[in-house]
C-alpha cells in the first residue's frame, strides 16, 4: 500500500514540513516554537550538529541529529528570510585514539579512513536534503589554526598547567572517568573487567604527564549560568541533570595526551611531546566555522544553538561552557538535546548486526517520507524505537490517508468544478530544491511578490487545472506535485 499511496504523495521534496516542525517544537521543546520571541525576527542564528566520528559509517542516529538541526534552521529561515541571517554547520570529527585504532585495524592510514568515511557523511546529507552552509572536518588547516589559538588563550589566562594525571580512560568514549563512574562486568573470558558505568565500554588505567585545565574553578559560574537561564538546555530534564552533575565535585580535566601514545591529532603549541585532547579539538569546530579567531565570529557566537545527542551532554554542557568562559566568551545560547534510536527494542550495535543504514531508508521510504518519520516519531526526552513496519504504518496513516485524502477532496469536481487553482509565487516556493538559497535572498520582496498571485478564476498555468477529482500531477508522471 505504501508504494502506491504515501510515496506518490512524497514526489516533491519539501512538502508539508512547516506544520510538522511547528507541531514538533510546540510539543517538545518550548511553549513558543524553539523558544524564539517575535523581537528576534531580525537576529542572526547559528545552528550546529555534533561533528560525527569517522570510525564507522553513518547510521540513523546521525541522520536524526542532522534532520533536527535542519528543521530548526529552516524554521528560522522562514521567520528571517535573509539568507545572510542564518548559518548551519555539520561535519566530521577525525582525530583521536579511536580513529587511530580503527585505521590500524582496517590496514589504512588514518587520513585514508577519514577521507573515506567523511565522504559517506557528506553524501548522506546531500541525499537527505540537509541544508547546511558548512561541512567542517577537523583535519582542515583552518581548524588546526583555530584550536591552537584557543589553546594559547587558555594558557595565557593561566588555566592550563602540566601535571601527572592518573585515572581511568575510555578509548571508545574518548574520556577520563572517576572511580565512581567505573564498574566491573564479565568479559569474553568470563573474568571481571572494568567498564564505563554509563556506556558499558571498556576502560583502562592511565598514568601520564599531561596538560590539565582548571575545570574546578568553573563549577559556580556554570551553576549561575544554568540557574539564570532555564532555557539554556532543553528539554528541561537534561537541564536538571546537568545541575545535578554540578552538585558533585568537578575535578580538573586532562586536555592532552602523550604524542607517543596518540599521534593522530593536533600537537600542543610549543610542545610536540603532547597532543591536544580530542574533545577540546572537536568542540572548537563550532568556532572554526564562524571565522574564529578573526573578529567576524563575535557577531555569530552569541546566537549559537547546538543540537546534540544525550550521550555527549556532559561535554557540551559542562566542559565546553567552562572552556568558553575560560577563554573569555559566553556559553552557547541554546543546547537542544535529543535521545537515541533503538532497533526493535535493542540498542544499535555492530556486534548485534542491527545498525540501520539511513541511505537505504531514504531510498525505500523517500527523502521526505523518512524525514517525516524521524521528526514525527522522535521524542527528545526518551529513546524511540525503529522498525520498518512502523515507518510504513505512519506514512500510510498520516500522509497517504490523511493528507492524501484531504488533497483528493479539495480537488474534487463537486468542490471545484472548474479545476481552477491559484499559482504559487515561484520566488517564495521554487520548484527546484536547489533554488532554495537563491529564493531566500529575495526574502524581503516576499509580500510584494505574493501580492501578485492571481485571483480564483483567472487563467492558470496548465498544471494548475484538472478535469477530474484526482490529485494534481505533472504531465506524464504518476507522482503528486505540491505547488
Please give the average per-residue pLDDT across 146-163, as a whole number.
Answer: 97
Total H helices, total E strands in the chain: 18, 18
For residue 110, what is its C-alpha cell? 588514518
Q: Evaluate whether residue 463 is within a structural domain.
A: no
The yes-or-no verdict on residue 290 having pLDDT over 70 is yes
Q: If we measure between CA atoms, which residue out of 346, 15, 278 comes closest to residue 138?
A: 278
Q: Evaluate whether residue 294 is within a structural domain.
A: yes
Q: If we measure between CA atoms, which residue out of 403, 391, 378 comes closest to residue 25?
A: 378
Q: Evaluate whether residue 382 is within a structural domain.
A: no
Q: Evaluate whether residue 407 is within a structural domain.
A: no
For residue 182, what is its C-alpha cell? 567505573
Q: If we measure between CA atoms, which residue out of 259, 169, 250, 172 comes closest to residue 210?
A: 259
The yes-or-no verdict on residue 336 having pLDDT over 90 is yes
Q: For residue 279, what pLDDT is reported?
A: 94
The yes-or-no verdict on residue 297 having pLDDT over 70 is yes
Q: Rounded distance, CA 478 to CA 390, Å?
A: 25
Q: Evaluate whether residue 416 is within a structural domain.
A: no
- Specify the pTM: 0.78
CATH number at residue 62: 3.40.50.620
Q: Evaluate whether residue 90 is within a structural domain.
A: yes
**pLDDT band at residue 348 under the 50/70/90 scheme:** confident
Q: If we measure between CA atoms, which residue out of 168, 173, 117, 201 comes closest to residue 311?
A: 173
Q: Rounded distance, CA 263 to CA 314, Å?
A: 25
What is the span of the domain harbouring residue 304?
36-338
- Alpha-helical regions (H) of 236-384: 236-245, 278-283, 285-288, 313-314, 320-326, 358-365, 367-377
Residue 184 DSSP SS3: strand
Q: For residue 427, what pLDDT is reported?
A: 62
> Structurally, how many domains does the chain consist of?
1
The yes-or-no verdict on residue 436 having pLDDT over 70 is no
Q: Evaluate whether residue 238 is within a structural domain.
A: yes
Phi, psi for residue 211 in degrees, rounded to 5: -85, 140
Q: Name the average pLDDT for the chain.
A: 82
Q: What is the pLDDT of residues 123-154, one digit of tens each?
A: 999 999 999 999 999 999 999 999 999 999 99
Bridge partners for 225 per DSSP: none
Q: Evaluate whether residue 441 is within a structural domain.
A: no
Amino acid at each position: 500500500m505504501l508504494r502506491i499511496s504515501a510515496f506518490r504523495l512524497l514526489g516533491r521534496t519539501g512538502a508539508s514540513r512547516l506544520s510538522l516542525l511547528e507541531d514538533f517544537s510546540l510539543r517538545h521543546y518550548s511553549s513558543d516554537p524553539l523558544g524564539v520571541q517575535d523581537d528576534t525576527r531580525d537576529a542572526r542564528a547559528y545552528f550546529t550538529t555534533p561533528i560525527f566520528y569517522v570510525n564507522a559509517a553513518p547510521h540513523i542516529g546521525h541522520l536524526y541529529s542532522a534532520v533536527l538541526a535542519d528543521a530548526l534552521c529552516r524554521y528560522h529561515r522562514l521567520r528571517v528570510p535573509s539568507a545572510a541571517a542564518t548559518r548551519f554547520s555539520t561535519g566530521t570529527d577525525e582525530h583521536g585514539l579511536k580513529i587511530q585504532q580503527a585505521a590500524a585495524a582496517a590496514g589504512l592510514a588514518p587520513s585514508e579512513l577519514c577521507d573515506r568515511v567523511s565522504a559517506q557523511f557528506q553524501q548522506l546529507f546531500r541525499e537527505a536534503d540537509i541544508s547546511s552552509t558548512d561541512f567542517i572536518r577537523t583535519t582542515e588547516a583552518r581548524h588546526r589554526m583555530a584550536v591552537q589559538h584557543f589553546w594559547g588563550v587558555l594558557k595565557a589566562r593561566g588555566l592550563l598547567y602540566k601535571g601527572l594525571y592518573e585515572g581511568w580512560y575510555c578509548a571508545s568514549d574518548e574520556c577520563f572517568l572517576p572511580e565512581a563512574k567505573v564498574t566491573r562486568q564479565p568479559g569474553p573470558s568470563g573474568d571481571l573487567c572494568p567498564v564505563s558505568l554509563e556506556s558499558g565500554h571498556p576502560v583502562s588505567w592511565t598514568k601520564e604527564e599531561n596538560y590539565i585545565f582548571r575545570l574546578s574553578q568553573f563549577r559556580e559560574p556554570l551553576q549561575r549560568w544554568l540557574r539564570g537561564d532555564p532555557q539554556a538546555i532543553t528539554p528541561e530534564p537534561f537541564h536538571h541533570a546537568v545541575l545535578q552533575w554540578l552538585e558533585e565535585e568537578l575535578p580538573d580535566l586532562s586536555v592532552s595526551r602523550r604524542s607517543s601514545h596518540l599521534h593522530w591529532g593536533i600537537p600542543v603549541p610549543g610542545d610536540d611531546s603532547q597532543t591536544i585532547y580530542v574533545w577540546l579539538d572537536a568542540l572548537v569546530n563550532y568556532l572554526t566555522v564562524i571565522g574564529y579567531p578573526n573578529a567576524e565570529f563575535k557577531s555569530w557566537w552569541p546566537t549559537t544553538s547546538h543540537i546534540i545527542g544525550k550521550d555527549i551532554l556532559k561535554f557540551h554542557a559542562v566542559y565546553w561552557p567552562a572552556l568558553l568562559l575560560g577563554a573569555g566568551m559566553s556559553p552557547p545560547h541554546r543546547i537542544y538535546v535529543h535521545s537515541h534510536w533503538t532497533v526493535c527494542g535493542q540498542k544499535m550495535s555492530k556486534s548485534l548486526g542491527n545498525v540501520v543504514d539511513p541511505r537505504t531508508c531514504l531510498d525505500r521510504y523517500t527523502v521526505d517520507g523518512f524525514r517525516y518519520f524521524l521528526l514525527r516519531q522522535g521524542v527528545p526526552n526518551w529513546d524511540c524505537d525503529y522498525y520498518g513496519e512502523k515507518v510504513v504504518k505512519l506514512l500510510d496513516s498520516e500522509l497517504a490517508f490523511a493528507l492524501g485524502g484531504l488533497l483528493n477532496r479539495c480537488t474534487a469536481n463537486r468542490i471545484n468544478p472548474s479545476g481552477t487553482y491559484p499559482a504559487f509565487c515561484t520566488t517564495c516556493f521554487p520548484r527546484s530544491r536547489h533554488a532554495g538559497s537563491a529564493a531566500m535572498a529575495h526574502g524581503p520582496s516576499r509580500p510584494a511578490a505574493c501580492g501578485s498571485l492571481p485571483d480564483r478564476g483567472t487563467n492558470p498555468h496548465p498544471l494548475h487545472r484538472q478535469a477530474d477529482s484526482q490529485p494534481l500531477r505533472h504531465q506524464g508522471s504518476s507522482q503528486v506535485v505540491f505547488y
